Amino acid sequence: MPSNHDTPITRAIISVSDKSRLTELGQALAGHGVEILSTGGSAKALAAADIPVIEVADHTGFPEIMDGRVKTLHPKIHGGILARRDHPDDQAAMAEHRIGPIDLIVINLYPFEATVASGAGYDDCVENIDIGGPAMIRAAAKNHAHVAVVTDPGDYDDVIAALDANAGALPADLRRRLAAKAYARTAAYDGAITAWLSGELGESFAETHVAAGHRAGVLRYGENPHQEAALYIGGAARPGVAQAEQIQGKELSYNNLGDADAAFELVAEFDAPSIAIIKHANPCGVATGDDLVATYRAARKCDPVSAFGGIVAANRPLDGALAEAITEIFTEVVIAPDADADARAVFAGKENLRLLLTGGMPDPRAAGRLIKPLAGGFLLQDRDAGHITRDALKIVSKRQPSDQEIADMLFAFTVGKHVKSNTIVYAKDGATVGIGAGQMSRVDAARIAAHKSGEAAEAAGESERLTAGSVAASDAFFPFPDGLLTTVEAGATAVIQPGGSVRDDEVIAAADDAGIAMVFTGMRHFRH
> Residue 466: which CATH number?
3.40.140.20
**In whole angstroms, how large is the CA radius of gyration of the chain?**
30
Instruction: Please classify residue 389 by burial: count the beta carbons closer than 10 Å to its beta carbon, then call 0-12 exposed, 13-18 middle and 19+ buried.
Output: exposed
Q: Assess if residue 281 is contained within a domain.
A: yes
Domain boundary pick from 173, 200, 227:
200
Q: Are residues 426 and 471 in the same domain?
A: yes
Q: Are residues 54 and 149 in the same domain?
A: yes
Q: What phi and psi, each to the nearest 5 degrees, are found at residue 205? A: -130, 125
Q: Assess if residue 475 is contained within a domain.
A: yes
Note whether 140 and 178 are within 8 A (CB). Answer: no
Q: Are residues 196 and 256 in the same domain?
A: no
Residue type, 437: A
- Please pick, among 209, 214, 280, 350, the residue that the annotation labels catalytic: 280
Q: Are residues 56 and 114 in the same domain?
A: yes
Note whether 413 and 496 are within 8 A (CB). Answer: yes
| Cβ atoms < 10 Å from Cβ of 52 | 12
How many residues belong to the chain?
A: 528
pLDDT per residue as tens, the chain (528 positions) = 566 778 888 999 999 988 889 999 999 999 999 999 998 888 999 999 989 998 888 888 778 778 777 777 888 888 889 888 888 888 888 888 888 899 999 998 888 888 988 889 999 999 889 888 899 999 999 999 999 999 999 999 999 999 999 988 899 999 999 999 999 999 989 988 988 888 898 888 888 888 888 888 999 999 999 999 999 988 778 899 999 999 999 999 999 999 999 999 999 999 999 999 999 999 999 999 999 999 999 999 999 999 999 999 999 999 999 999 999 999 999 999 999 999 999 999 999 999 999 999 999 999 888 999 999 999 999 999 999 999 999 999 999 999 999 999 999 999 999 999 999 999 999 999 999 999 999 999 999 999 999 999 899 899 889 999 999 999 999 999 999 999 999 999 999 999 999 999 999 999 999 999 999 999 999 998
Q: Assess if residue 128 is contained within a domain.
A: yes
User: What phi-psi label fits residue 98: left (phi over 0), alpha (psi between -120 and 50 degrees) or beta?
Assistant: left
Q: Assess if residue 501 is contained within a domain.
A: yes
In whole angstroms, give the CA distance from residue 175 to residue 8. Answer: 12
Q: Are residues 63 and 138 in the same domain?
A: yes
Residue 267's closest CA among 301, 295, 231?
295
pLDDT value, residue 64:
78
pTM: 0.85
Domain boundary pick from 300, 334, 357:
357
pLDDT value, residue 297:
97
Domain that holds residue 318: 240-357
Q: Assess if residue 381 is contained within a domain.
A: no
Q: Are residues 16 and 158 in the same domain?
A: yes
CATH number, domain of 117, equals 3.40.50.1380
Note whether 72 and 39 are within 8 A (CB). Answer: yes
- Please pick, among 142, 350, 398, 451, the residue that the annotation labels catalytic: 142
In whole angstroms, give the CA distance from residue 525 to residue 528. Answer: 10
Q: Assess if residue 366 is contained within a domain.
A: no
Positive or negative, the Cα torsion across 391, 393, 395, 396? Answer: positive
Please confirm, yes or no, whether 142 is among the known catalytic residues: yes
Please confirm, yes or no, whether 525 is among the known catalytic residues: no
pLDDT value, residue 113:
87
Q: Assess if residue 482 is contained within a domain.
A: yes
Note whether 467 and 449 are within 8 A (CB). Answer: yes
Read out DSSP for 402-429?
PHHHHHHHHHHHHHHTTSPSS-EEEEET
In whole angstroms, give the CA distance from residue 504 to residue 485. Answer: 14
Q: Which residues contact 119 (CB under 8 A, 6 or more apart)?
A: none
Whether a cis peptide bond, with omega within 30° of 0, leads into 4 is no
Q: Are residues 194 and 55 in the same domain?
A: yes
Residue 196's closest CA among 117, 84, 274, 88?
117
pLDDT value, residue 69:
76
Q: Assess if residue 414 is contained within a domain.
A: yes
Q: Are residues 26 and 151 in the same domain?
A: yes
Q: Are residues 195 and 247 in the same domain?
A: no
Q: Are residues 353 and 397 in the same domain?
A: no
Q: Are residues 422 and 512 in the same domain?
A: yes
Q: Which residues contact 87 (CB under 8 A, 6 or more apart)?
A: none
Note whether 526 and 416 are within 8 A (CB). Answer: no
Strand partners, 495: 472, 518
Domain boundary pick from 145, 176, 200:
200
Q: Give how many domains the chain has, as a whole number.
A: 3
Q: Which residues contact 50 (CB under 8 A, 6 or more apart)?
A: none
DSSP E strands in 363-514: the ranges are 369-374, 377-382, 394-395, 424-428, 431-436, 471-474, 494-497
Q: Are residues 144 and 33 in the same domain?
A: yes
Q: Can you state the percent helix, strand and coil of the chain, rounding each to 5?
A: 40, 20, 40
